[in-house]
Structure 1
């Protein structure tokens, strides 16, 4: 065999690494066999259980050390210290004689969170003074740790912190949080607060905690409980063997045959109830479990890395080692041959290692590809391909983005990049590698039953090419949830400008008229100029965006549908937004192009009045629906009393024509509503009138005729009593308004 000294240095490093890995595995298997009694279970889940603790009869020293292994789930086991009713969370340490358990947090005046600390009286356990700290998260009050005995309830320790909500100090040293050392040999305590607040806020709390865990969990101590959503924290206990004076000699005789270990009385812990503590140790040069017969094994110092003898020869013996100088020998032909053999062996090992590494990379890459393929199918990729093959969609206009590109563009979908939450998902702002700013929609869809809505939006938007419709740039289907990439529209929604008006940029009458004309033109395009007629089905001011020049763009096609040329309506479950929903569609479940016209009419009324589509602030007589309120105002000749102040600056004749157009769009009879082509033409005529500053005389007979048409008002009632609870409208724990029709 080739001497180690003749092998090349790189080869030596590889061989030593492999030997260390093998030694680690063997050492682990050996340690598992020596930490507990023969035939006893030594692990519960990931927690190691060494003797004197044990699981099962005959495996533990006495009842204080009995462990129950609780099966919470199929793959989760939790060790439970039966006598003290405590759960373990980490390995039991033989060297430090410690174990870590779960203790409850005490909240101030919080009836929903009751807690009771452990009682270690009479047990071989004490709360570790070295490892634990009494911690209170509060300010301006004292938090006490007191003895739990009613006969002599004394203060053990206490701390108080100063209130400062603006501090950046996270050390818990007196600003909103305080810590203090606990007494030694502590076995039982209660936590109380110095002031009492009758209002249950649960804002202040105190607890005994493992200081290492507390410092490692968070830079902000006051976020630990809120983030982890827990009512308990880990606490370190110290343990020894507990024996009466009468049995100490018997125990010492029982371990006298442990030639590599020794035991002694713990003189640092005072005697309690005539009880003594016994500690056992492995002798120098040995390691293992000193509480077992022959549980301490010799440490082979010569196998340690780095070598203890450096360049000298290491000789291991029971309980120690020695170093001796190497005898120098002149290399021989045989040694040279052995060196060549060693080089060949090392080269073979390197080649084997490279092959294994290359194989691992291939397997990892294949798994990644299969996962992306699985996500692609789950997110509707096959459905999208089917739709693209069966429709007249220009596939080249739809780019398929990869997940890495969109994660980089949105800073891994950071919460600061959120633009808003739509009906079908969350929208993030991002920047592509080519510098384009985009909006990335992360769908909420996780079940196959709703994939059609997502794929529907891709198909519909891919067919649309209009300057007043948000442009779809592409999609990504290889992520956990589907992603859509749109052009970025910087100035938010029309709803924001109508209802939260900005004095620096008021929404003037001219701007409102232009925006209404642009929306009408886009809807007219969808209804009549697209390759297939498209019904939006959710027209509302919050689905209309404004670009950098405040031009209107229609967005959110998640519920839209395309129909064939010869179809006049769609029969579907009712979808839409309360206040904008066509009453005729609500009753019949048949959506027509005139249903979009009705919703657009509500948007026109919003532009005129500046009021919301549904509002509980309006009087009961006027109704919570803006459409009802507007129609009643028109019938009572109070139009100019309900207009927005910015609208009143326009020409009254044009405003009246605009209002009459909105009335026609809101007609309860869909057949009597104008088409979007007619609406667009009428709005363009009003625009031309404004540009020419031409005052069109008001035709009183025409206005009167419009006012006396059958505009029947409706009242707002609870969803629980509505006639279409089966229609699929969104519901919540509160009562939602829903339209119910009655004649005057």
Structure 2
């Protein structure tokens, strides 16, 4: 309710007062409140007029209220504040938990509240590194979506499954009873909602409620009682911490310094740092090295007395030798002594010692320092090598290496971390070609000049770490012209990195849905891409040894090369085809809108699951509509459900893309739609194989390119050559006309027209 109230206030606010619009780096008065309850209030935050920094929004305005329990609580308008940090530019607030519960009286789910939070007129951003979207419950699917402009729209879901109460485990939020997913950088608003097709009515006897919330990951520890009781709400008082980032204004450091009266870094010995969210997102102030305090206050950055600082280790190796300086310190040996007080010793001076001894002592100290440095470097190098070796072993590197050694012809390379850093300029942001909730993809050039795409994942579960070597064995066996080539991987890092061949023309999703106006790709090109994708999946199912199930077929996992040839990619959800009927998964993977309903019901992943997902891809090509659109009505939210409904009512033409209806006959489009319908059969055993799908698409592609007349018309005219220069051919061909077959000889001709017997 706090979030909803804040939204109402922000929507009604039309602008700051004229005096605040210009903004000024004002200073708080002595009477300003600096503490509320047990929370310190550092400037630029403040309570009341003249006590906080005015920037034209409500970022730094606070209120200190006494609640019914007699305690003082701090608020940023209707949001309760936990604490704030000037050094890190962060604010911790309370985020409301969104519950959805079963009502035993009505025998149905209560109405859900779609929580949303809009900070578009403030300089708050939700910290993507410290927060996670979390869903708790049984068979519960919830979504979080951004409130940015349509061009920056972000949406993801998280599903908590419950194969059985006995499988719940304290501290484990990996999909069983609890699910967590990352959020993208730069969010300044979000909305949370549950998918109503997935509710707790079937599990109400032991798990009556589901919960969805965006929270601080470090402050959350999953307990099994959160699923079976209301402890999650009760223990946290219906709210949990959330970390926000803040900044000053909407200018860069360079732009802000041009207006001295409004520049917020007023303290001497302070530095300005641009916001990490990019140009136009404001700036922060930090005290310079050797200083500490509040850079937003006059003389707020004071020298750190390193010699007496209780929060750090004594900086000199010899006690009593530290001398504080402005912005630093010196380690000076006392009078009558000499030596190195920084990292050595101070010894009493002896006038009788000759120059030879003094030089010898100096040389010995230098040798000692060099030796110690070398020993430390060797130790650090060995320690780093040990860490890399542990990561390599943890990710199944030894298994993969043995497999590579046993298969001499296996084209696969194990890259080092240094090689990939060199290829990407130490993972420079300028090399980023794609970002998502699960990681970042960089474009790089290897030492041998090969252009590659390097996928650097952000998170990895314990299951993924243990099975990574197995997945590499799966993907390394794939060698097909319509599948993205995997060059190798890097296993000596905490989260493994994959190195693929660089595909220049983006995804099929962008090709279909990226353009809102102008002509789309022709139908013949769509059939070609669909046929190539089907050939790739057919290869995985039928010709790979052992067979491979992709597990996440969708338009965003189909890339297009320079000739717009399809390349199937992203085998993060792939697995070997099960050999035992008892095999099943405990965490359903895939993408909403493409998931096989039989897979979600039985937890058994089969090759027919890929067939269902491909059917949705084929629908996108036929309709240019998205597989899942949460803004539509319930019956039109899923493209597959809407298609089957329209097809059953003989209204197919309403869904087809108008462009392809003008290019091809409706009979051909109906045949393609019928193929999609067969792929979307609820029972997997009724669906065709990918081999059969590929053969049918090949037939439709040829019909689309060469629309012959129907066989029963008695006439078949064939264009036997499309070369621009005259060429003669001789030989014979075999024609099938209706139920009869005839052998026809021809020769010395360029174009042949064949008239069948009347």
TM-score, reference length from structure 2: 0.51
1:332-731 map, 5 Å = 351-382=367-398, 384=400, 396-421=410-435, 424-452=438-466, 454-501=468-515, 506-563=520-577, 570-573=583-586, 574-620=588-634, 622-648=635-661, 649-696=663-710
C-alpha distance in 1 between matches for 2:394 and 2:520: 46
C-alpha distance in 2 between matches for 1:477 and 1:418: 21
What per-residue deviation string (whole Å, max 9, x for no partner) do you get for residues 231-272 of structure 1?
A: 984653799xxxxxxxxxxxxxxxxxxxxxxxxxxxxxxxxx
1:303-322 map, 5 Å = none
User: Conserved in 2, the CA contact under 8 Å of 1:104 and 1:115?
Assistant: no
C-alpha distance in 1 between matches for 2:301 and 2:656: 77
Change (3 A) 1:551 1:567: farther
Unaligned runs of 5+ in 1: 1-83, 87-100, 117-162, 180-205, 240-286, 290-296, 306-334, 700-744
Change (3 A) 1:353 1:470: same
What per-residue deviation string (whole Å, max 9, x for no partner) do you get for residues 538-560 of structure 1?
A: 11111111111111111111111
Change (3 A) 1:110 1:584: same
Give 1:187's aligned residue. Answer: none
Give 2:62's aligned residue. Answer: 114
Once the two structures are TM-superposed, the CA of residue 520 in structure 1 deviates from its matched residue by 0.5
C-alpha distance in 2 between matches for 1:673 and 1:655: 19
Once the two structures are TM-superposed, the CA of residue 594 in structure 1 deviates from its matched residue by 1.2
Change (3 A) 1:555 1:619: same
Once the two structures are TM-superposed, the CA of residue 524 in structure 1 deviates from its matched residue by 0.4
What per-residue deviation string (whole Å, max 9, x for no partner) do you get for residues 103-154 of structure 1?
A: 55414474874389xxxxxxxxxxxxxxxxxxxxxxxxxxxxxxxxxxxxxx
C-alpha distance in 1 between matches for 2:376 and 2:333: 38
2:267 to 206, 210, 214: 210
2:262 is the counterpart of 1:178: yes
What per-residue deviation string (whole Å, max 9, x for no partner) do you get for residues 193-227 of structure 1?
A: xxxxxxxxxxxxx68x4222145899999844499
User: Conserved in 2, the CA contact under 8 Å of 1:102 and 1:232?
Assistant: no
SS of aligned partner of 1:532 = coil
SS of aligned partner of 1:631 = helix
C-alpha distance in 2 between matches for 1:299 and 1:575: 68
What per-residue deviation string (whole Å, max 9, x for no partner) do you get for residues 364-388 of structure 1?
A: 3222222222332344435645877
SS of aligned partner of 1:429 = strand
User: Conserved in 2, the CA contact under 8 Å of 1:537 and 1:560?
Assistant: yes
More helix as a share of residues: 1
Give 2:119's aligned residue. Answer: none
Give 1:137's aligned residue. Answer: none
Change (3 A) 1:438 1:298: closer
Unaligned runs of 5+ in 2: 1-32, 36-40, 46-51, 65-247, 288-292, 303-321, 325-331, 341-351, 714-758
Once the two structures are TM-superposed, the CA of residue 363 in structure 1 deviates from its matched residue by 2.3
Give 1:45's aligned residue. Answer: none
Change (3 A) 1:414 1:226: farther
- Tell me the C-alpha RMSD between the 2 structures: 4.5
C-alpha distance in 2 between matches for 1:344 and 1:299: 22
C-alpha distance in 2 between matches for 1:338 and 1:300: 20
C-alpha distance in 1 between matches for 2:250 and 2:449: 40
SS of aligned partner of 2:299 = strand
**Matched length:** 440
Change (3 A) 1:441 1:457: farther
C-alpha distance in 2 between matches for 1:474 and 1:671: 36
Once the two structures are TM-superposed, the CA of residue 493 in structure 1 deviates from its matched residue by 0.9
User: Conserved in 2, the CA contact under 8 Å of 1:453 and 1:558?
Assistant: no
C-alpha distance in 1 between matches for 2:359 and 2:631: 89
User: Conserved in 2, the CA contact under 8 Å of 1:653 and 1:696?
Assistant: no
Give 1:236's aligned residue. Answer: 299
SS of aligned partner of 1:377 = helix
Once the two structures are TM-superposed, the CA of residue 438 in structure 1 deviates from its matched residue by 0.8
What per-residue deviation string (whole Å, max 9, x for no partner) do you get for residues 578-618 of structure 1?
A: 21111222222222211111111111111000001112454
Once the two structures are TM-superposed, the CA of residue 422 in structure 1 deviates from its matched residue by 5.3
User: Conserved in 2, the CA contact under 8 Å of 1:441 and 1:484?
Assistant: yes
Give 2:134's aligned residue. Answer: none
C-alpha distance in 2 between matches for 1:371 and 1:482: 14
C-alpha distance in 1 between matches for 2:249 and 2:274: 22
Which of these two proteins has the greater Rg computed from alpha carbons?
A: 1
Change (3 A) 1:164 1:217: closer
1:2-401 map, 5 Å = 103-105=43-45, 106-108=52-54, 110=58, 113-114=61-62, 169-170=254-255, 172-174=257-259, 178=262, 209-214=266-271, 223-225=282-284, 233=296, 236=299, 351-382=367-398, 384=400, 396-401=410-415
SS of aligned partner of 1:210 = coil
C-alpha distance in 2 between matches for 1:226 and 1:685: 66
Change (3 A) 1:103 1:643: closer
C-alpha distance in 1 between matches for 2:379 and 2:252: 51
SS of aligned partner of 1:490 = coil
User: Conserved in 1, the CA contact under 8 Å of 2:395 and 2:496?
Assistant: yes
User: Conserved in 1, the CA contact under 8 Å of 2:624 and 2:657?
Assistant: yes
C-alpha distance in 2 between matches for 1:424 and 1:221: 26
Which has the higher mean CA deviation after the structures are superposed, 488-497 or 344-353? 344-353
What per-residue deviation string (whole Å, max 9, x for no partner) do you get for residues 65-117 of structure 1?
A: xxxxxxxxxxxxxxxxxxx999xxxxxxxxxxxxxx9655414474874389x
User: Conserved in 1, the CA contact under 8 Å of 2:413 and 2:487?
Assistant: yes
